[in-house]
């Protein structure tokens, strides 16, 4: 039996704002989805690509 992914809201998502993303561990990949529209699907990245995305975003003001 497959266990459904456990989605977590980003710690950078504010309680007041509606701009929230969630991530889930898909074994060797990381999935990202919009918490307001979870039914529309998700983006799946390798762990290496996800780390690169985070590094890129951290360099932005």
What confidence category does residue 51 fall into, taking pLDDT thresholds of 50, 70 and 90?
A: very high
- How many percent of the chain have pLDDT more than 90? 46
pLDDT at residue 10 in the model: 73
Task: Identify the three-state secondary structure at position 32.
Answer: strand
Give the pLDDT confidence of 5-45 residue by residue, as tens digits: 899 987 766 666 667 889 999 888 999 998 888 889 999 99
Sheet hosting strand 29-34, strand order edge to edge: 8-9, 21-26, 29-34, 43-46
Alpha helices in 1-61 (DSSP H): 47-58
| Residue boundaries of the structural domains of the chain | 8-58
């Amino acid at each position: 039996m497959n266990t459904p992914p456990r989605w977590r809201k980003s710690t950078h998502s504010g309680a007041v704002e509606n701009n929230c993303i969630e991530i889930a561990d898909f074994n060797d990949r990381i999935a990202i989805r919009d918490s307001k529209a979870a039914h529309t699907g998700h983006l799946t990245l390798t762990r290496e690509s996800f780390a690169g995305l985070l590094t890129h975003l951290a360099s932005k003001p």
